[in-house]
Amino acid sequence: MKLKVIGSSSRGNSYILEADTGNLILDAGVRFKEIQKALDFDLSSVRGCLVTHEHKDHSKAIVDVMRAGITTWTGVKTVEKLGIEHYAINTYRLSFAENGEQFDIDDFTILPFETEHDAAEPLGYLIQYRPTGEKLLFATDTYYIQYRFNGLNYILVECNYCRDILEENIEAGRIPESLKNRLLESHFSLEHVKDFLKANDLTQVRKIVLIHLSDGNSDAARMVREIAELTGKDTEIAEPGKVVDLEMCPF
């Protein structure tokens, strides 16, 4: 499989998970034209779209995606918050994802799970590609994940800020105290990512991709270094235009 990064920041988040028998769009927080471009303007391979929550940097293009004939899954409260209930009523292009309720999208099996964010019904997704058995965890915009996962091969996880850099920026007056509180209550810090990884079985993990870094409160090189040192796993930062190979032996 491959992961194509379209956007991974507060300006917009969207990824394409490419597999031999079809692709998934993970979040649609960029202009639809950017998604089309990442797909070489060929939507025929897209099997569906998963949206984590209603904030525009994750849902901006959700209506355009559905209008293009791509079925999209997200939480019912997210749908209500976005005011797009009529797409569920009048079309077959909007489906509800629910915490702990597994469903299939062609060759992909999806398990939604609750995340912790200042949104109506934020979700993460455990994605298994059945032809090879590969498992990818997708978790963004959360300050805590209560669940533990086994048999993961790839982890796509938010690593938004470093606590000490955030404190330095507040002390210097570069960002307001109110932003600190929102970050602490809505986003994964480097320290929390480490705690999450230590609590999970990483035996079969081949790749960790860090996503949604803060522009002013993160240090990409440090994050990669510390996560790689902690886990012993290949670690990368998601950057727009980047294609990450997800290869698991013997596949």
- Residue 56 domain-assigned? yes
For the record, the structure tokens of 238 come out as 């998601």
pLDDT of residue 233: 97
- Residue 250 domain-assigned? no
- Residue 71 domain-assigned? yes
User: Is 251 a residue whose pLDDT tops 70?
Assistant: no
- Cβ(218)–Cβ(169) under 8 Å? no
pLDDT of residue 247: 82
Number of domains in the chain: 1
- Residue 129 domain-assigned? yes
pLDDT of residue 148: 96
Domain that holds residue 15: 2-245
- Cβ(28)–Cβ(62) under 8 Å? yes
- Residue 218 domain-assigned? yes
- Residue 251 domain-assigned? no
For the record, the structure tokens of 185 come out as 């209550």
- Cβ(58)–Cβ(42) under 8 Å? no
- Residue 10 domain-assigned? yes
More confident residue, 171 or 185: 171
Over range 146-165, report the average pLDDT: 96
- Residue 204 domain-assigned? yes
Rounded Cα distance, 30 and 50, in Å: 14
CATH of the domain at 154: 3.60.15.10
Spatial neighbors of 236 by CB under 8 A, at least 6 apart, are 207, 208, 209, 210, 224, 242, 244
pLDDT in tens, 47-63: 999 999 999 999 999 99
pLDDT in tens, 34-93: 999 999 999 999 999 999 999 999 999 999 999 999 999 999 999 999 999 887 777 789
